[in-house]
Amino acid sequence: MSIEITAIDWVDNGVTLLDQTLLPLEEVNLRITTVTQMIDAIQRLAVRGAPALGVAGAYGVVIAMDEGAREDWTSSKLETVVDSLRDARPTAVNLAWAVNQVREIIPQGREAVLAAALEIAAADKKSGTDMGNVGADWLIAKLGNKKLNLLTHCNTGSLATTGTGTALGVIKELHARGNVNEVFADETRPLLQGSRLTAWELAKCQIPYRIQPDGAAAMAILSGKVDAALIGADRIAVNGDTANKIGSLGVALACHVAGIPFLVVAPESTIDRSMNDGSQIHIEIRGDDEVTHVGGRQVAPHGAKTFNPAFDVTPSKFVSVVITELRAYDIAGGETL
């Protein structure tokens, strides 16, 4: 069983966002009608996930045009505001990609930009279904038509997209085919996207799961409890090097040692063909409070310094395959993107 979860939508000349900072205990929708509100939602992770960020960016350009019309902005002011939207989170390529896609249409007028943004959202929704099928087919061909124990890191489902999801979308498709025994969901410190968001989605879809500390992932994999691991991506270089939520690299290393498949699932728009390898990917470093505080409560000494990268880069040699809506790229076999 699966359900329709809408994380982001264009409604009545504005954007409605499901505030993911409040999940799983509260389901609250935000109303976004200014660029400042959109940038704030992006930066504090009320909306997150590379595909959803792309859609948010595209809608944000429409909001900027509406706001500029109300306040009589100059074209230079509009460009500056759109730049700030594009750069709100630097690692996720989809945000900049979508903003750049629709900003080129600004001279054609607001309705043309809105049509392009809606098209990006619709294409993302379809791509989730397609990725689910491509990924499920690949895993069944690789491991056999049986029930699988799968591991996933961070959230890559409907909350990160406009559709069924990327890596979690593959898991949902496998579940629909009767090929899932259980899902190991890494909690994903420090913001707990796994325990707060992925577990919430799995429960909604009635997919058996258990939450584990990030530090338990390697043990689960090396002790034979996991048949394959699936992650999403925020940016993929041409050689297959993949930037994803911090902790993904550790999962990949464990899968490599155990000899089990490690899948990266993302739309074609996440592939940055201007980057030859992962050394060129800018990694966002976030604030100390995310590590020193949990639920608003301080859990570290006063003045403690942290190292809090939001993402890490998994070298392509540890990636089995990259699944997109178009096909499966055989990274392990030396294929490039």
What are the extents of the domains in the chain? 8-123, 128-329
Write the pLDDT tens digit of every residue in 148-175. 999 999 999 999 999 999 999 999 999 9
- Residue range 128-329 forms a domain whose CATH class is alpha beta
Catalytic hit among 124, 186, 234, 241: 234
pLDDT of res. 73: 96
pLDDT of res. 295: 84
For residues 102 and 15, give the distance between their C-alpha atoms in angstroms, rounded to a whole number: 16
Using CA of residue 282, residue 287, residue 288, residue 292, what is the dihedral sign? negative
Residue 66 annotated as catalytic: no
SS3 state of residue 195:
helix
Tell me if 251 sits within 8 A of 186, measured CB to CB: yes
| Residues of the chain predicted below pLDDT 50 | 1
0.85 exceeded by pTM: yes
Assigned CATH for 8-123: 1.20.120.420
pLDDT of res. 91: 80
pLDDT of res. 92: 76
Neighbours of 10 (CB within 10 A): 18
pLDDT of res. 274: 94
- DSSP letter string, 29-84: EEEE-SHHHHHHHHHTTSS-SHHHHHHHHHHHHHHHHHHHHHHT--HHHHHHHHHH
